Amino acid sequence: MSGPILPGATLGVMGGGQLGRMFIHAAQRMGYFTAVLDPDAASPAGRVSHHHIVAAYLDAPGLGQLAETCDAITTEFENVPAPALARLAAYTTVSPAAASVAIAQDRAAEKAHFVACGVPCAPYAVLETPVQLAAIDEALLPGILKTSRMGYDGKGQVRVATYAELAQAWLDLKGVPCVLEKMLPLAAECSVIVARGADGQIVNLPIQRNLHREGILAVTEVYEENMPPAQVASALAAAKSIANGLDYVGVLCVEFFVLQDGSLVVNEIAPRPHNSGHASMDCCDVSQFELQVRTLTGLPMVQPRQHSPAVMLNLLGDLWFVGSEKATTPPWAEVLALPGAHLHLYGKTTASKGRKMGHLTLTGPTVEAVRTTALQAAAILGIEAF
């Protein structure tokens, strides 16, 4: 990239889900044309983009069309095949790079990167062969067995308390490559979203305190008092070290566990915007999706400023079935009567349990006001209090 790719150019995204849709909206607002490659003709991002290439992620003609159409290309989910990104990079600007995405796609490689960056993570062992299974240190038990690839939102994860349970769990997972992580005494979870430009400059969103239920993000709280200053500083330093170690260009989310002694261990990374960063669209002057546009195009990086405390509620398909076996539209009018309520629905045509259908961000003048309103919204929608 010899200079910034200015508005009027065409930006592409691999993947047509909600993250791609919000990237498309941000790019179009800034004056860019857009293109999406996704095999689903009704994908949320494809339906709002100037161009929608309906093709598989490794389809050579589809990739060729995307490369010919776009001045720069990004990705909206980490399981886009890294070889597809490498192929596109031979013809146009691509960020994040295929090598960075490949590390995020493999838990074993990801853990090794954390260690190389000097960032603490849970004690772990790689499990790929029966010999490695036999050599597992039982000090790692009880633990969580995670598939090395394709796991997300709690999928591909099994809790094991004994060696016998571990052996059975690996058998149930068809003996695919896995990582066994020691279970640690957790007090909370948090995440940091950083954006790194090609020149190495890094900016970050405010730290996000997260609550997961059944492996899926449920609530994110973003305000100055949500974490002790020492933990915030530690998380920011670790996230920047991980991004620098990858020579990363783009938006990167780093998720952490907060242990009961107050220390942090890194859990995993996502080489893209993240569910926990959605509140930035309503509580910051620069959102994670605008940062994605800026890093992709080489535009100047600016440090986002938070102007309002915020609480984000994830809206899963379960809410369409509260009190009924038939899908029913949730009471949006009642929710939107609350002060500072910002509703974001993702354009998905069918609701199903566990499916991310949208999110609701509550903003307000004080933390107390925002939490009170968020709890009111949760009660209206049938979401468990937090």
Domain region containing 160:
123-182
Q: Shortest CA distance to 335 belongs to which of 307, 314, 362, 364?
A: 362
Residue 312 CB burial class (10 angstroms; 0-12, 13-18, ≥19): buried
Q: Integer distance in angstroms from the first to the last C-alpha of the chain?
A: 46
Q: Give the pLDDT of residue 324.
A: 84
Chosen domain end from 166, 182, 198: 182
Structure tokens at 347: 């354009």
pLDDT digits (tens, 9 = 90+) for 139-193: 999 999 999 997 665 678 999 999 999 999 999 999 999 999 999 999 999 999 9
Chosen domain end from 77, 94, 111: 94
Please tell me whether the peptide bond between 309 and the residue prior to it is cis, using omega within 30 degrees of 0.
no
| Residue 289 per-residue DSSP state | H
Q: Is 277 contained in some domain?
A: yes
Q: Is 332 contained in some domain?
A: yes
Rounded Cα gap, residues 172 and 151, in angstroms:
15
44/56 same-domain check: yes
Q: Residue 204: which residues within 8 A CB-CB, separation 6 or more?
A: 192, 193, 194, 195, 236, 239, 240, 303, 304
Rounded Cα gap, residues 272 and 253, in angstroms:
7
Mean pLDDT of 227-242: 97
Q: Give the pLDDT of residue 115.
A: 96
Q: pLDDT band at 370, cuts 50/70/90?
A: very high
Mean pLDDT of 341-353: 95
pLDDT digits (tens, 9 = 90+) for 16-64: 999 999 999 999 999 999 999 999 999 999 999 999 999 999 999 999 9
CATH of the domain at 63: 3.40.50.20
Q: Is 3 contained in some domain?
A: no
Q: Give the pLDDT of residue 151.
A: 67
Q: CA 182, 185, 191: angle at the middle one, nearest 5?
A: 90
Rounded Cα gap, residues 266 and 256, in angstroms:
4
141/212 same-domain check: no
218/350 same-domain check: yes
61/159 same-domain check: no
204/293 same-domain check: yes
Q: Compare 349 and 67 and report the one with higher pLDDT.
A: 67
Q: Is 298 contained in some domain?
A: yes
Structure tokens at 309: 């405390």
Rounded Cα gap, residues 15 and 75, in angstroms:
6
Q: Is 115 contained in some domain?
A: no
Structure tokens at 43: 């994908």
Mean pLDDT of 324-343: 96
Question: Domain tally for the chain?
Answer: 3
Q: Shortest CA distance to 296 belongs to which of 16, 9, 25, 11?
A: 11
Number of residues assigned to the chain = 386
Q: pLDDT band at 79, cuts 50/70/90?
A: confident
172/190 same-domain check: no
219/306 same-domain check: yes
Does residue 108 surpass a pLDDT of 90? yes
Structure tokens at 265: 């261990």
Q: Residue with structure tokens 């090794």?
A: 112
Largest CA distance in the chain: 60
Q: Give the pLDDT of residue 305.
A: 98
194/336 same-domain check: yes
Amino acid identity for residue 343 in this structure: L
pLDDT digits (tens, 9 = 90+) for 284-326: 999 999 999 999 999 999 999 999 999 999 999 999 999 888 9
Q: Give the pLDDT of residue 153.
A: 59
What is the pTM (predicted TM-score) of this model?
0.95
Q: Give the pLDDT of residue 155.
A: 73
73 and 66 Cβ atoms separated by less than 8 Å: yes
CATH of the domain at 252: 3.30.470.20
Q: Shortest CA distance to 104 belongs to which of 83, 124, 79, 73?
A: 79
Q: Give the pLDDT of residue 259.
A: 97
Helix (H, G, I), strand (E, B) or coil at 20: helix
Q: Give the pLDDT of residue 113.
A: 97
Q: pLDDT band at 372, cuts 50/70/90?
A: very high
Q: Give the pLDDT of residue 282.
A: 98
Q: Is 113 contained in some domain?
A: no
Please tell me whether the peptide bond between 120 and the residue prior to it is cis, using omega within 30 degrees of 0.
no
Q: Give the pLDDT of residue 2.
A: 77
The rounded mean pLDDT for the chain is: 96
Rounded Cα gap, residues 57 and 17, in angstroms:
13
346 and 322 Cβ atoms separated by less than 8 Å: no
